[in-house]
Structure 1
Amino acid sequence: MIHESLKWYTHRPTIEENGVTRPRKYSELTPVDAIQADFDVKATNIILQGLPPKVYALVSNHQIAKELWEIIQLLMQGTSLMKQERECKLYDEFDKFTYKKGETLRDFYLRFLLLLNDMNIYNVKLEQFQVNTKFLNTLPPE
């Protein structure tokens, strides 16, 4: 039923009184609509609990789970694009990584390790031979 809320439940049933349309109160819902409304509330709460505070602040006023889910999907698409952009930058940094003149071997290794850690955080995959080859080929001749 929670899944159904996310798929098709778009609004609570309404009633017209004195020429004004309003959502039905919970006590006015049919038993089937009341069950669906309960599951919609549960779905909404589950979604809201898993959100970072900044996203929560943007979407917490939406009361229908389907509507809430669609808005979050749009917000998270931007996150996905930023992740792809960051991955491209990390691959580029790896390709252009070089020894800096006057740098100690320790400093060189730490810089390389930081880059690899960033790549691991973003799940950027490299083969071990690529890492080893890059490190050895960029060492200074001495």
Structure 2
Amino acid sequence: MSNSIALNKIELDGQKVIYNFSIPSEIREHINPVYVDSQNNGTLFVELPNDVDAIEIPKGVLTIPFVGTMIGVAMLYRTPIKVPDVDKEYFETIKKLDTVFLKMYPKGNLSLVLETSRVSTVKNNRGGGYGHPYSSRVELTRRVH
């Protein structure tokens, strides 16, 4: 039994990014049952706009919409989110968010922990290098939600 929200695999199917994950049984009631089976394994997906080529987006950046979807329940249940790879800039932002929420809600007993085995450095349009027009993490998240 897992004690974390774990992103097990990211698959690409055309313009669809498919997230295969597992969750602890205690948070099952907070995830739409359409997306989670009886063994607490789930599948979520996002559709990318037609002008975005998912193959060109690094896995560490593709992780962002999944993490963003799971943040609320992870904080309430003090359950870490585990991902295989995450963008460094986003990873550092998550650490800051945890600190901010603790200050905002000191009695809330909230915790936001993102665990990963790989932190990727993705150059973006602001710093040059990575030329994909949607390399901005905020822009990617905005476009898929």
- The TM tier, using the shorter chain, reads under 0.3
Q: Return the index of the structure with the highest Cα Rg.
A: 1
Identify the structure with bigger relative contact order (alpha carbons < 8 Å, sequence gap 6+). 2
Bigger helix fraction: 1
TM-score by length of 2: 0.22
TM-score by length of 1: 0.22
